[in-house]
Amino acid sequence: MVQHVQTSSPSQPGARPGTRRAWIVAAVAGAAIVAAGAFTTVPGLLISPLHQQYAWDRGQIALAASVNMIFFGFTAPFAAALMERAGLRRVAAGAMLLIAAGALLTSVMTAPWQLVVYWGVLIGLGSGCLTMTFAAMVTGRWFVRRRGLVTGVLSASSHLGQLVFLPLLAWSVDRFGWRPPVVTLALAALAVSAVVALLLRDHPADVGAPPYGGERFVAKPAPVPGAARRTVTVLVDAARTGTFWLLAGMFVICGATTNGIMWSNWVPAAHDHGMHATAAASMLSLIGVFSALGAAGSGWLTDRFDPRHLLACFFAVRALTLLALPMVLSATVQPSLVGFAVVYGLVDVATVPPVIALAQRRYGDDGPIVFGWANSAHQLGAGAAAFLGASARDLLGTYDAVWAVLSVACVVAALTAPAVRVPRS
């Protein structure tokens, strides 16, 4: 039985100095998500260099990105259960080591199947442990107040990986080739793994403090046995509800219309219009900047408004931006393309906080695992879009039809969101 001890005044929740540790934990978790996120856009930078060096088809190279996204997605729910058994710190540090190993092995590959194994499987597994499911567990354990805001900020952290690393990586690929940037990222992952091992803590009880904003001390739960079994059981139970399928379906579309198409195909699509890779990467980085702002803002809004209405609005705006994209792409960066990056970026990750909130309201303590399964659906959509988008480009010689189809999919998601049924908070 969990024991509760009064530790702070109800009139001043979160005022005790010990609760400041929650912000340190959130910062370290954010650093891990940033580092993992830096690897997500690299395949888009590698398509042209690998095609030129090895004469591999674009579809072969994009297959590694697709496999990465699928493993990324299906690892998340099991990682959530594993973290409940082994702890946040051990799993997060181990995930960063796995990512570093995959990147180092990629630097010495000689065949397409090796790219699929090293970047697709190893980095997919490692980064899959550091998804929004990880963010949901951190905020769920360490925060009572500001939970939506912190969720939004952590949701934006993977896109901050683009902001911090992508332009420099694009410049490095142009100047030094693709191997040095990959090795540099591997070393960065090793450094973050050490920081996680030193500073991340599994639960507020580890430092003798209540969650931020909590009025009472919360005892650390015992390790949960049967992590994999529980993960599957939660899926089976959730799959009997319509809410799960609506959330998963929207996230399939979300994945296809964000990281699925953008992270692997944005640079090649811009290149088709004559844009230099460094300029294209800078625009993708700009999207990352406004994704961070949009996710944080979405978290703030989720604390105050119906998440379903927010989702409908975000998907509708995304549909309009994707429909306009072929008209604003050109050989140089024009104000219209900057406008696209700003608007699209603001709604890019904004869907995450509302979906996390809906999963928590509907499924309670199982919410993070249910969200992990919804995130798996997200990555299925992303993987399909990464591969099919590149294949459509090889077949049609243009991405125009791809943008149109994805825009229609976003309209479907916008119409679906209000149908989600959850208890009132």
393, two tokens: 């480009």
Residue 237 confidence (pLDDT) above 90: yes
Q: Are the C-beta atoms of 111 and 320 separated by less than 8 Å? A: no
Q: What integer pLDDT is reported at residue 19 of this predicted model?
A: 62
Buried residues in 216-238 as b, exposed as e (16+ CB within 10 A): bbbeeeeeeeebeebbbebbeeb
pLDDT band at 11 (very low <50, low <70, confident <90, very high): very low
Measured CA to CA, the distance from residue 282 to residue 316 in angstroms comes to 25
Q: What integer pLDDT is reported at residue 143 of this predicted model?
A: 83
What are the φ/ψ torsions at residue 309 (nearest 5 degrees)? -70, -35
Residue 181 confidence (pLDDT) above 50: yes
Q: What integer pLDDT is reported at residue 326 of this predicted model?
A: 92
pLDDT band at 257 (very low <50, low <70, confident <90, very high): very high
Instruction: State the helix-helix crossing angle for 277-302 and 352-363, rounded to 10 degrees.
Output: 40
Predicted confidence (pLDDT) per residue in 320-340, tens digit: 999 999 999 999 889 999 999
Task: Provide the 8-state DSSP code for 119.
Answer: I
197 Cβ contact list (under 8 Å, min separation 6): 89, 93
User: Residues 380-404: what's their mean pLDDT?
Assistant: 87
Number of CB atoms found within 10 A of residue 168's CB = 15
Residue ranges of domains in the chain:
19-207, 227-419
- Cα 293 to Cα 252, 253, 261, 287, 391: the distances in Å are 23, 22, 21, 10, 32
Measured CA to CA, the distance from residue 391 to residue 405 in angstroms comes to 14
User: Residues 44-68: what's their mean pLDDT?
Assistant: 79
Most confident of the ranges 94-103, 274-283, 391-400: 94-103
Domains 19-207 and 227-419 share a fold: yes
Q: Are the C-beta atoms of 100 and 184 separated by less than 8 Å? A: no
Predicted confidence (pLDDT) per residue in 109-145, tens digit: 888 889 889 988 999 899 888 877 788 788 878 887 7
Task: Provide the 8-state DSSP code for 210.
Answer: P
Measured CA to CA, the distance from residue 40 to residue 423 in angstroms comes to 35
CA 228 to mean position of chain CA atoms: 22
> How confident is the prediction for the chain on average, in pLDDT?
83
Q: Among 84-88, 155-159, 205-209, 291-295, which stretch is predicted with the lowest mean pLDDT?
A: 155-159
In the block, tokens 């931020």 appear at 212
The reply to whether CATH 1.20.1250.20 applies to domain 19-207 is yes
pLDDT band at 6 (very low <50, low <70, confident <90, very high): very low
Q: What integer pLDDT is reported at residue 417 of this predicted model?
A: 94
More confident residue, 397 or 403: 403
Match domain 227-419 to its CATH number in 1.10.357.10, 1.20.1250.20, 2.30.140.10, 1.20.1730.10: 1.20.1250.20
